[in-house]
């Protein structure tokens, strides 16, 4: 059976990309990363991809329209079936969103709809919440707004700094993003307006979870 072909957008170090690659290569998910694209020529995500023999492309973003058309071209040429934003620091245009809607997911380091935009971890800490976490969602034409797939709640500990909190959240991002790809590959995700219905099936609870993290249904 053919594997789901995934295209990844990343702007930085690519730890979420690495989590996806590890899940693919370890057989945890029936998928393969077909291509990685970055708007940052020095992004370590590109090096990670090349280390694993994955096509990796820097696409200049000075012209937004041309940038997105080139991404679309690269993804289509690679036979991408699911596009994933994994630390991609640009807002995609309605044109791109419409072309990939329902096949385009993102991960955000907060429990949406709270703390949208940049530095969700720092926003949560500054606000004084006791729980925060991370969210995977289908992208739509508003920032950090589309239908939610999975969420995981992480405690904010006394004495946390922005970096210590972000580190704990990141470990959980490395779980729910591959799992979201897994659910997509298994055709268990059904978008119903604002909601994503997750059809019955297997669970990663008990095998891929942290004891002090609360995972939403479907994980």
What is 109-219's CATH superfamily? Formyl transferase, N-terminal domain (3.40.50.170)
What's the pLDDT at 121?
98
Do 1-100 and 109-219 come out as alike in CATH topology?
A: yes
Rounded to an integer, the average pLDDT of 3-9 is 99
CA 146 to chain centre: 13
Rounded to an integer, the average pLDDT of 197-209 is 96
What's the pLDDT at 1?
74
For residue 2, the tally of other CB atoms under 10 A from its CB is 8
Rounded to an integer, the average pLDDT of 52-68 is 97
What class does CATH assign to 1-100?
Answer: alpha beta
Return the domain boundaries, the chain. 1-100, 109-219
**Spatial contact of 122 and 156, defined as CB atoms under 8 Å apart:** no
**Spatial contact of 189 and 200, defined as CB atoms under 8 Å apart:** no
Instruction: Work out the burial of residue 175: count CB atoms within 10 Å of its CB; fewer than 13 is exposed, 13-18 middle, 19 or more buried.
Output: buried
Q: Report the predicted TM-score, pTM, of the whole model to 2 decimal places.
A: 0.96
Structure tokens at 81: 């079936």
Rounded to an integer, the average pLDDT of 21-38 is 98
Q: Is 108 a catalytic residue?
A: yes
Candidates 30, 57, 108, 145; catalytic one: 108
- Alpha-carbon distance of 125 to 69, in angstroms, equals 37
Residue 118 DSSP one-character state: S
Give percent of the chain with pLDDT exceeding 70.
100
């Amino acid at each position: 059976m053919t594997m789901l072909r995934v295209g990844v957008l990343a702007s930085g170090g690519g730890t979420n990309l690495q989590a996806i690659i590890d899940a693919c290569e370890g057989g945890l998910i029936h998928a393969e990363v077909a291509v990685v694209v970055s708007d940052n020529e020095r992004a370590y995500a590109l090096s990670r991809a090349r280390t694993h023999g994955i096509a990796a492309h820097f696409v200049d973003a000075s012209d937004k329209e041309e940038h997105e058309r080139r991404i679309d071209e690269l993804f289509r040429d690679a036979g991408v079936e699911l596009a994933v934003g994994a630390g991609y620091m640009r807002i995609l245009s309605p044109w791109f969103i419409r072309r990939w809607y329902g096949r385009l997911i993102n991960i955000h380091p907060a429990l949406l709809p709270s703390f949208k935009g940049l530095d969700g971890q720092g926003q949560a800490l500054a606000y004084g919440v006791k729980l925060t976490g991370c969210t995977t969602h289908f992208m739509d034409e508003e920032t950090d707004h589309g239908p939610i797939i999975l969420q995981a709640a992480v405690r904010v500990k006394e004495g946390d700094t922005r970096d210590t909190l972000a580190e704990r959240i990141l470990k959980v991002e490395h779980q729910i993003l591959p799992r979201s790809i897994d659910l997509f590959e298994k055709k268990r995700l059904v978008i119903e307006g604002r909601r994503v219905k997750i059809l019955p099936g297997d669970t990663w609870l008990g095998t891929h979870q942290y004891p002090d993290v609360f995972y939403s249904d479907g994980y």
